[in-house]
Amino acid sequence: MLYDRITPFFGKEPLDLMQEHAQPVKAQDGTNDTLVEVRQLRKQFGDTEVLRGIDLNVREGEVVVIVGASGSGKSTLLRCLNLLEQPTSGSVRVFGQDLTGKEPNSLKLRRSIGMVFQNFELFPHRTAIENVMEGPRFVLRQSKHTAFATAQSLLNKVGMLHRADQYPKNLSGGEKQRVAIARALALNPRIMLFDEPTSALDPELKGEVLDTMRALAVEGMTMVVVTHEMNFARRVADRVVFIDKGVIVEEGIPGDILLKPSTARLKKFLNILYWGAEE
């Protein structure tokens, strides 16, 4: 049972987490299996082709950070990975099975992919713990008692147990996002997708969310993260993928791609990101 293995993220020093992460995460689970396999993915909205032939593999335990300018198709790509958007063509395979397939398994497969959004999307009329219990109760059909215990340990994991009975309106942005992460984890996902999870947060609140995500990575969670937080990308990503106008222009390990970009397009993007100017 997964929940027996839930250990709190909080209370660990960032340095401990960094050192743990310095040990290769993939070596711990001893696998190099491809979890997500995207082939020639295309997505069109009307006449506009937003994704123009994306090929992407994500291995078990890998953390892939996706960067790219606004409008380049990052959210659409994430949304195609869990079928919030239906791809126009191409395939998305998870654990070797076609996500778009009609077999009874595909719903279960989609549930194995958790998602965290920029704007939290918590239920406003439910407390933090009720938000986390929703999935275990009504999707996994756990008893109220079991769902409560699950939600408690997940809130503890993200350092939010002491705020369990608060409504979202009484939580800071960083706290809301940590509850949203706990809520996504409550469905017991094998992969977590994050779409600019800290973009809506004040700078002083970003750290607690990024620490929570880093701890998840250290535990070996497979993650695909759209973010502009380059420190996070440098420290946590196994691979950085740069998307421009719906195609993958460049990808590689963070030390290479972020410090020595080989395409003019990525150079320009990084210059704007770091310096607010192209040169």
Ligand X SMILES: Nc1ncnc2c1ncn2[C@@H]1O[C@H](COP(=O)(O)OP(=O)(O)O)[C@@H](O)[C@H]1O
Which chain residues interact with ligand X by CB under 6 A?
45, 50, 68, 70-76
| Closer residue to ligand X, CB minimum distance, 34 or 119 | 119
Minimum CB–partner distance for residue 108 and ligand X (Å):
26
| Closer residue to ligand X, CB minimum distance, 201 or 215 | 201
C-alpha distances (whole Å) from 137 to each of 13, 104, 142, 145, 257 are 33, 21, 5, 9, 43
Q: Which of residues 35-74 bind Mg ion (CB under 5 A)?
A: 74
> From the CB of residue 30, how many other CB atoms can be counted at a distance below 10 Å?
9
Say if CB 54 and CB 223 are below 8 A apart: no
Q: Parallel, antiparallel, or unpaired: how do β-strands 191-195 and 113-116 relate?
A: parallel
Given Mg ion, ligand X, none, residue 86, with its beta carbon under 5 to 8 Å by kind, binds none
Minimum CB–partner distance for residue 72 and ligand X (Å):
4
Residue number of the CB atom closest to Mg ion: 75
Given ligand X, Mg ion, none, residue 73, with its beta carbon under 5 to 8 Å by kind, binds ligand X
Q: Is the dihedral of CA 44, 50, 52, 54 positive or negative?
A: negative
Provide the 3-class DSSP secondary structure of residue 174: helix
| Closer residue to ligand X, CB minimum distance, 196 or 219 | 196
Minimum CB–partner distance for residue 197 and ligand X (Å):
13
| Closer residue to ligand X, CB minimum distance, 46 or 104 | 46
Minimum CB–partner distance for residue 275 and Mg ion (Å):
22
Given Mg ion, ligand X, none, residue 76, with its beta carbon under 5 to 8 Å by kind, binds ligand X
Q: Segment contacting Mg ion (CB under 5 A): 75-83, 157-165, 197-205, 214-222? A: 75-83
Closest alpha carbon to 68 in 270, 236, 276: 270
Minimum CB–partner distance for residue 78 and ligand X (Å):
8
Tokens of 278: 């192209």
Residue selected from 43, 63, 67, 75 as contacting Mg ion according to rule CB under 5 A: 75
Say if CB 17 and CB 218 are below 8 A apart: yes
Site membership for Mg ion, residue 227 (CB under 5 A): no
Tokens of 183: 């809520």
| Closer residue to ligand X, CB minimum distance, 76 or 142 | 76
What is the Cα–Cα distance from 157 to 130, expressed in whole angstroms? Answer: 16
* Sequence letter at residue 54: I
C-alpha distances (whole Å) from 91 to each of 42, 49, 82, 83 are 9, 16, 12, 11
What is the Cα–Cα distance from 163 to 169, expressed in whole angstroms? Answer: 12
Minimum CB–partner distance for residue 107 and ligand X (Å):
22
| Closer residue to Mg ion, CB minimum distance, 148 or 242 | 242
Say if CB 177 and CB 120 are below 8 A apart: yes
What is the binding site for Mg ion (CB under 5 A)?
74-75
